[in-house]
Amino acid sequence: MIWLIGIGGIAGTVLRFGLGKAVSARLGTAYPWGTWLINISGSLLLGALYQLYLAGSLSPALWGMLGVGFCGAYTTFSTFGYETLQLIDSGRSGRAALYVLSSALLGIAGAALGMAIASWFIA
């Protein structure tokens, strides 16, 4: 089990790094679009996996690898906090507030959407 979680964690971390670099190369670094997109999409995916796990359609081993390992490591809270403080310290408090609120609200809404999509597939 621990190896499955570890493999998922490596994959999630490497994807976050690659996607974060690709997004900031395309959209710039004035707003943390990379982490924003990663945290919302990861919340959607984890919501779907959680619903599948609850319904018994996902084994504990797969939940460990994809949910705890992959989604847990793909999304990040520490970079989210650091980027918010960077926005505040550079005088862009409005953008910082928008970043925090939209990440949390769209993240939770994404998780709810993921759960709804998964239940629709199970049914």
Partner 1 sequence: MKDLIYVGAGGLLGTLCRYGVQKWVPTAAGGFPLAVLLINLSGCLFLGWFFTVTPGAWRIPPRLRLAIGTGFTGGFTTFSTFTVDALRLWSEGKAAVSLLYILASLLGGLLMSLAGIRLGQYMASRSGGGTAV
In the annotated binding site for Na(+), the residues are: 72, 75
Write the CB contacts of 58 (distance below 8 Å, at least 6 apart in sequence).
Answer: 49, 52, 66, 67
Q: Which of residues 9-28 bind partner 1 (CB under 8 A)?
A: 9-10, 12-14, 16-18
Q: Binding of partner 1 at residue 32 (CB under 8 A)?
A: no
Largest CA distance in the chain: 49
Considering only the stretches 26-34, 55-63, 85-93, report the one whose residues sit in contact with partner 1 under the rule CB under 8 A. Answer: 85-93
Residues 6+ apart with CB under 8 A from 110: 40, 41, 43, 44, 47
Closest approach, Cβ 15 to partner 1, in A, equals 10
Give the separation between CA 24 and CA 21, rounded to whole angstroms. 5
Residues found near partner 1 in the complex (CB under 8 A): 2, 5-6, 8-10, 12-14, 16-18, 38-39, 42-43, 45-47, 50, 68-69, 71-82, 84-86, 89, 100, 103-104, 107-108, 110-112, 115
